[in-house]
Amino acid sequence: MARHMIDVPAAEGLPAGRIVDVGSRGAYRGEPDIPAYGASKAGLHSLGQSMAVRLAPHGIAVLGIAPGFIATEMAGYALAGDQGGAIRAQSPFHRVVTPEEVADAVVALADPWSHWASGAVLDFNGASHLR
């Protein structure tokens, strides 16, 4: 994808493209029950930051987002019962993020005017993990 973006001319004053990686707060807080998940998300965030530096001369911004638990079918097992209540209580909002909220954040990060945040990873976890 980046190779294609390099070949696309940018509009005056705007970056040629944006890449938004969706990782996880698990990259920063650790995932003792599923360590490969946390490690892979940390790798994704590191790759995104490296690519932000590499692709900037081509006018391509690379940003990341690190959501906490998302109310999806995949997370359904963890969000059920008492365990789910404990997970929701990790955030002072006492809930987890919706897929639509994550999508809205990705759209905001993909906006041409957010290019100066290239290399950043947005913590998007409802204050459930602060670093």
**Taking residues 65-89, what's their average pLDDT?**
92
Position 119 pLDDT exceeds 80: yes
pLDDT at 81: 85
0.85 surpassed by pTM: yes
pLDDT at 75: 87
User: pLDDT for 13-66, tens place per residue?
Assistant: 666 789 999 999 999 998 898 999 999 999 999 999 999 999 999 889 999 999
pLDDT at 10: 66
Q: Quick check: is 37 catalytic?
A: yes
pLDDT at 2: 81
CA torsion through residues 56, 59, 60, 62, sign: positive
DSSP state of 22: E
Amino acid letter, residue 92: P
Pick the closest to residue 41 from 59, 54, 28 (CA basis). 28
Rounded to whole angstroms, the Cα distance separating 46 from 41 reads 9
Catalytic: which of 14, 35, 37, 93? 37
Average pLDDT, the chain: 91
